[in-house]
């Protein structure tokens, strides 16, 4: 029964995350009801049921036939999966609440950065503060070292990159995001996340070709790598070091 309630809870949140993903970059209010961006048709409650409405409407606006972006479906599908995985790992504990908050922000950041190449301060700064508060509540002050490292590493790297190339190589949003990751996952977590995110991003760059895209958002790679750390970090680290032993 608990899984069913978590599933429903996550569906509702996933629907709200989609509102944030669309409206925050445009600095729009999150309160007005959903509507079609083309014909302004107000979406009814029956047409706004997470996951199922997208499938029933076949990914199109009922009024004008405008194709609904696939990320609406993906967010509403991913959110329950992540929430249930977190419950399986932590149960109904403080750690469960902590990571629910992190990945709730993380899902929104992932798609906003992917679509708009920005990480709004409205998301990154509160996430840093929340991570520090949880560290204090858990009396795990070593997590603060992770936050300091996450900030310092990218800030220094970005400073030297700009100094030698006269170009911005690392966005301020990425610096704040790694600070938050450090506050939530500690020093080992943020180091793992940065390294794995960089490797995945490099593979991505090679796959698409350097010339095709001169800039790409790093936030989605950081969020995905933090997910890998939480659920598979020990396994990945073990097999990595095993290669050298």
Residue by residue, DSSP assigns 87-107 as HHHH-SSHHHHHHHHHHHHHH
Report the distance separating Cα 221 and Cα 178, nearest Å.
11
pTM score = 0.91
Using pLDDT thresholds of 50, 70 and 90, give the confidence band for residue 243.
confident
Q: List, in sequence order, every residue forming a beta bridge with 67; answer none if it has no partner.
A: 60
Domain ranges of the chain: 1-92, 121-245
Q: Is residue 187 very low, low, confident or very high in pLDDT (cuts 50, 70, 90)?
A: very high
What tens digit of pLDDT does each residue of 1-13 get? Answer: 888 999 999 999 9
Please classify residue 9 by burial: count the beta carbons closer than 10 Å to its beta carbon, then call 0-12 exposed, 13-18 middle and 19+ buried: middle
216/234: higher pLDDT: 234
Q: Determine the pLDDT at residue 147.
A: 93
DSSP 170: S
For residue range 135-178, list pLDDT tens digits in order.
Answer: 998 888 888 999 999 999 888 887 887 777 767 667 788 999 99
Q: Taking residues 236-245, what's their average pLDDT?
A: 77
* pLDDT of 127: 97
pLDDT value of position 241: 77
Cα 101 off chain centre by: 11
CA 124 to the chain's CA centroid: 10
- 8-state DSSP, 35: B
Burial class (CB in 10 A: 0-12, 13-18, 19+), 145: middle
pLDDT confidence tier of residue 98, bands split at 50, 70 and 90? very high
């Amino acid at each position: 029964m608990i899984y069913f309630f978590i599933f429903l809870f996550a569906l509702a949140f996933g629907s709200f995350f989609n509102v944030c993903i669309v409206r925050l970059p445009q600095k729009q209010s999150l309160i007005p009801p959903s509507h079609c961006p083309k014909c302004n048709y107000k979406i009814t409650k029956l047409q706004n049921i997470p996951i199922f409405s997208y499938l029933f409407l076949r990914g199109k606006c009922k009024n004008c036939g405008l194709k609904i972006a696939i990320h609406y479906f993906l967010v509403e599908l991913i959110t329950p999966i992540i929430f249930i995985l977190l419950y399986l790992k932590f149960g109904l504990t403080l750690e469960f609440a902590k990571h629910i908050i992190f990945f709730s922000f993380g899902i929104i950041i992932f798609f906003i950065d992917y679509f708009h190449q920005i990480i709004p301060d409205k998301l990154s700064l509160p996430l840093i503060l929340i991570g520090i508060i949880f560290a204090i509540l858990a009396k795990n002050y070593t997590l603060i070292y992770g936050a300091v490292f996450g900030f310092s590493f990218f800030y220094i790297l970005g400073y030297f990159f700009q100094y030698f190339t006269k170009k911005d190589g690392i966005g301020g949003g990425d610096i704040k995001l790694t600070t938050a990751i450090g506050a939530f996952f500690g020093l080992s977590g943020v180091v793992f996340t940065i390294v794995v995110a960089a490797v995945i991003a490099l593979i991505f760059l090679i796959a698409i070709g350097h010339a095709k895209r001169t800039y790409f958002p790093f936030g989605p790679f950081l969020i995905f790598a933090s997910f890998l750390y939480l659920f598979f970090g020990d396994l990945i680290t073990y097999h990595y070091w095993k290669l050298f032993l």
